[in-house]
């Protein structure tokens, strides 16, 4: 998969830079065109001569060549690349990337990169475990960067622990699998309906009952399904996100009833329906046509009536060729509640996330999920960015639709 790919190999100043030479060789052997960008500290560990000889290109390190004044454009490099790999990534470079401290050519290139970025941290175990490093790595993950977690083993300090840069062969495998996935058009010809975001149930012209859903998970699913070639209809509650790129028709709705009506229009033709929206279970029975005044009322009662359950309503009229997926955001008894939703709503798969897991749920950029299927399979995934979680969910859907 790496043949002809344009790869920026970023090297920072850590002992593991010696492994970057093997990584470079493997990438070149796999047919990739590699441009090395090295930090000033990186050059203390490995020489540009070795790297330029192996890559067949001058190594970039400074903003311009001192004797000629030739400017090295990090913007052009960022546009040229199909991917950028930073290996090793030291604690210092990770902190700079996480915070946009563009004080060398490598960090400016990272900030300009339009392509996917892979980061392979390498450092001593205590630096790796430090809360600031963990926070910076999580920030990078939340920006959509791919973290290639270090292994545990012997470290240059003589200590044993987590911090050894992943082996070059494994890094190449990660890249290979990534390109295999992004070039995959496995959903070409399929129609996918996705609900996303919250619903707002009006109380009066200026007030509503809503929830904290950001819509990020549903939008990430829409982007991933479109990337795999699907025709996507994204029925979205009120969110402040731009529509995903590609073949995505976004239908904006406000209330649960509007969401159901919009879904009913496309459901029968959908091959896959993913009910990701956080739909309000109840809505005010009457919507006041004027703003309700505070007046002297010491208390106020709002009568709520049940909203339609979109997933269950459509699940009840599903046809055989469809794959239906629901979500279960739970605070307790996650697995039991998740499984009961599978049956009640006639779903093929439920994605369970727990409010008890740090980093999972509504408004963040990360999620931690367990998938259960009607066939009885169960799979848990570690904390990942919502973009990566979306790819995992769609992989699971493709597996059960086969
Ligand atoms: O029962 P609960 O609301 O927890 O179920 C969550 C799942 O059902 C999600 O997939 C959600 O999108 C869907 N749902 C729905 N309509 C509702 C309530 C939930 O489609 N009124």
- The answer to whether the CB of 209 falls within 8 A of the CB of 283 is yes
Ligand 1 neighbourhood includes 277 CB (under 6 angstroms): yes
**Burial classification of residue 243, based on how many CB atoms lie within 10 Å of its CB (0-12 exposed, 13-18 middle, 19 or more buried):** middle
Ligand 1 neighbourhood includes 391 CB (under 6 angstroms): no
- The answer to whether the CB of 28 falls within 8 A of the CB of 53 is no
Residue pointed to by tokens 């200590």: 159
Q: What is the best residue among 259, 279, 339, 351 to mutate for testing ligand 1's pocket, by most ligand atoms within 8 Å of CB?
A: 279
Q: How far is the CA of 311 from the centre of ligand 1 (A)?
A: 6
What is the number of the ligand 1 atom nearest to the C-alpha of 350? 10
Ligand 1 neighbourhood includes 307 CB (under 6 angstroms): yes
Residue pLDDT, tens place only, 255-303: 999 999 999 999 999 999 999 999 999 999 999 999 998 887 888 899 9
Cα 222 from Cα 24, distance rounded (Å): 35
Q: Tell me the average pLDDT across 216-231.
A: 96
Catalytic residues: 211
Of the candidates 334, 336, 335, the one whose C-alpha atom is nearest the C-alpha of residue 356 is: 334
What pLDDT, on a 0 to 100 scale, did the predictor assign at position 66? Answer: 67
Instruction: Look at ligand 1, atom 9, and give the residue with the nearest C-alpha.
Output: 327
Give how far Cα 102 sits from Cα of 36, 60, 142, Å.
18, 15, 19
Please name the residue ranges forming H helices in 11-102. 17-29, 48-55, 74-80, 91-99
Ligand 1 neighbourhood includes 256 CB (under 6 angstroms): yes
- CA dihedral in degrees (262, 267, 273, 277; nearest 10)? 20
pTM of structure: 0.71
Q: Which tokens is 236 given?
A: 């979205």
Residue pLDDT, tens place only, 309-331: 999 999 999 998 999 999 998 87
């Amino acid at each position: 998969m790496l043949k002809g790919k344009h790869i920026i190999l970023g090297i920072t100043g850590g002992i593991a830079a010696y492994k970057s030479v093997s990584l470079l060789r493997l990438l070149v052997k796999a047919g990739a065109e590699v441009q090395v960008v090295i930090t000033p500290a990186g050059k203390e560990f490995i020489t540009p001569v070795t790297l330029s000889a192996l890559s067949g290109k001058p190594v970039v390190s400074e903003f311009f060549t001192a004797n000629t004044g030739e400017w090295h454009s990090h913007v052009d490099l960022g546009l040229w690349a199909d991917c950028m790999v930073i290996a090793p990534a030291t604690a210092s470079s990770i902190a700079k990337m996480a915070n946009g401290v563009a004080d060398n050519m490598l960090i400016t290139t990272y900030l300009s990169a339009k392509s996917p970025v892979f980061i392979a941290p390498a450092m001593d175990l205590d630096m790796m475990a430090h809360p600031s490093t963990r926070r910076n790595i999580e920030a990078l993950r939340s920006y959509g960067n791919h973290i290639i977690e270090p292994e545990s083993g012997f470290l240059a300090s003589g200590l044993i622990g987590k911090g050894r840069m992943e082996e070059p062969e494994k890094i190449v495998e990660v890249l290979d699998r990534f390109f295999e996935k992004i070039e995959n058009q496995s959903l070409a010809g399929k129609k996918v309906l996705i609900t996303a975001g919250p619903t707002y149930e009006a109380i009066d012209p200026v007030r509503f009952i809503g929830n904290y859903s950001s819509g990020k998970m549903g939008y990430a699913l829409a982007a991933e399904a479109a990337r795999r070639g699907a025709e996507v209809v994204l029925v979205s509650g009120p969110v402040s996100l731009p529509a995903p790129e590609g073949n995505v028709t976004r239908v904006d709705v406000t209330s649960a009833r509007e969401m159901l009506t919009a879904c009913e229009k496309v459901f029968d033709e959908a091959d896959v329906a993913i009910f990701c929206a956080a739909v309000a279970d109840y809505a005010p029975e009457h919507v006041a046509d004027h703003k309700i005044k505070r007046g002297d009322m010491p208390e106020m009662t709002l009568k709520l009536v049940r909203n339609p359950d979109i997933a269950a309503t459509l699940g009840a009229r599903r046809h055989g060729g469809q794959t239906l997926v629901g979500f279960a955001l739970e605070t307790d008894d996650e697995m039991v509640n998740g499984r009961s939703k599978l049956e009640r709503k006639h779903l093929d798969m439920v994605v369970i996330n727990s409010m008890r897991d740090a980093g999972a749920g509504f408004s963040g950029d990360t999620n931690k999920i367990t998938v259960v299927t009607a066939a009885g399979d169960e799979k848990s995934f570690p904390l990942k960015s919502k973009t990566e979680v979306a790819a995992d969910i769609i992989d699971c859907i493709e597996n059960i639709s086969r």
